[in-house]
Structure 1
Amino acid sequence: MNQYQIVSINVGKPSTLYTDGQEIQTGIVKRPVHAPVHLKTLNFEGDGQADLVHHGGADKAVCVYPHDHYVYWENDLKLTLSPGAFGENLTVKGLTEDKVHIGDIFQLGEAVVQVSQPRQPCFKLAKRYGIKELPLKFQTTGFTGYYFRVLQEGIVRERDALSLLEEHPMKRSVQYANTIMHHDKKNREGIEMLLNVDALSANWRATFEKRLQGIEPDASKRLEG
């Protein structure tokens, strides 16, 4: 069984971020928790989102980010980063975007979760670090992280491993989904392959279906979280 280390479990309620003379309500500020925490259908207990239109929901219950990318970002941003730095709920080791597939199912403590889509970092990540182009850098590198939906609720502990229970038979990686979404937008075959993955989130499915119809979302629309 493939097992991956949980570096930290991170939660946080919406708070006010002061930047560029503005007040922004955001749930991007997460802190590690060391006590057992209940993972529910929509989120970890103690966690929350300020913008429920672009964040949260069953398909985006748990935001996951590979700790493997932290060294890259520390060098690029000239910052020292702590787990949860990018607003993720789970900071993990070894489970990078090229190794995990849409629809893969994992045991997470007592809970069972499934990969639903890559993450698309929003403008609030840029605001947090004062780097306007940061969300675009995430897309360009492919170091986006991804989301879990919760198939079974349960208690999760920091010492628990993330264990692969079932690899999706289509084996379309998060990296591949990112490529089709952001870099190879006119690849109809690739879009159709992803639409055939039953576990793909409703949000990404709708975007790909519109592309097949020749409808491209407004480029001025902010990136989702």
Structure 2
Amino acid sequence: MKIISTNIGEPKEVNWKGKKVTTGIFKFPVNKPIFLDIEEVMGDEISDRKHHGGILQAIYGYSLKHYNFFKLNYPDLDWQNGMFGENLTIDDLDETKIHQGDTFKVGTAILEATVQRNPCYKLGIRFNDMKIVKQFWNTTFCGVYFKVLQTGFVKSGDVFEPIKSCTENPTIADLYVAKRVEKKI
């Protein structure tokens, strides 16, 4: 797995059902290393700290390969890395092969896979179409949240070097499917 782009966002205020909502889902590639801190990417907006950021969800990674699946349904969007709100767009991140607890060295940081990303209405805001939320739920293309075990910088081109594999634990896709069943989606 290799980082294709590092992405950060600024706070953006949007109108959602007559209310002003601030979101950080509008992330765009940056051409410089980013610093992965214990609870967040430095300089990146996290507007909803109840559901994003924090120790278990400090960094969000998403696979560039998944983009092709969604591009078919949204051919008119201005597709850029970071579309799914990810901090790291990774060439081939496979949720069916990454287990909770798997650990990687990337750049000068050490990351541990923790949980899946559960989509919310802000993904629909980013796509300007709420259908994306259900479409996202109906795949295993959820992306991976990472815990930062060692803070450090990462940049485009950095490779995820496996340190520890936890095959006895569920995969990130398994966790996602279980959450989908629990929510009855």
TM-score by length of 1: 0.76
Residue deviations 1:162-194 (CA, integer Å, cap 9, x gap): 1211111414211111122213x4xxxxxxxxx
Aligned counterpart, 2:72: 75
Q: In 1, are the aligned partners of 2:27 and 2:85 still within 8 Å (CA)?
A: yes
Aligned to 1:25: 22
- The correspondence of residues 16-165 of structure 1 with structure 2, limited to 5 A, is 16-18=13-15, 22-78=19-75, 79-165=77-163
Alpha-carbon distance in structure 2 between the residues aligned to 1:138 and 1:27: 19
Amino acid at match of 1:77: Y
The gaps in structure 1 that reach 5 residues or longer are 186-216, 220-225
Structure 2 contact 93–143 (Cα < 8 Å) conserved: no
Give, in whole Å, the separation in 2 of the partners of 1:128 and 1:177.
24
Pairs within 5 Å for 1:205-224: none
Instruction: Tell me, in whole angstroms, the C-alpha distance in 2 between the residues paired with 1:131 and 1:15.
Output: 17
Counterparts of 2:171 and 2:78, CA distance in 1: 29
1:5 to partner: Cα distance: 1.3
- Segments of 5+ residues of structure 2 without an aligned counterpart are none
Counterpart code for 1:17: V
Distance 1:15 1:131 in 2: 17
- What is the aligned residue count? 183
**Structure 1 position 141, deviation (Å):** 1.2
Structure number with the bigger relative contact order (C-alpha 8 A, sep ≥ 6) is 2
AA in 2 matched with 1:130: N
- Return the structure number with greater helix share: 1
State the TM-score, normalized to the length of structure 2: 0.91
Which of the two has higher C-alpha Rg? Answer: 1
Deviations 1:54-96 (A, max 9, x none): 2211110001111111111100222352110111001001221
The whole-number CA distance in structure 1 between the counterparts of 2:141 and 2:41 is 23
- Greater mean deviation of Cα atoms: 43-52 or 13-22: 13-22
Question: Cα distance, 1:149 vs. partner?
Answer: 0.6
Q: Identity over the aligned pairs, expressed in percent? A: 33
Instruction: Say if 1:84 and 1:90, in contact at 8 Å, map to a contact too.
Output: yes
- Please tell me whether the aligned partners of residues 2 and 91 of structure 2 are also in contact (alpha carbons under 8 angstroms): yes
Q: Secondary structure at the match of 2:13?
A: strand
The whole-number CA distance in structure 2 between the counterparts of 1:42 and 1:124 is 21
- Taking the aligned partners of 2:141 and 2:164, their CA distance within structure 1 comes to 23
CA contact (8 A) 1:74 1:80 kept: no
Alpha-carbon distance in 1 for matches of 2:107, 2:120: 29
Aligned partners of 2:126, 2:67: CA distance in 1, in Å? 16
1:17–1:128: 8 Å Cα contact kept in structure 2? no
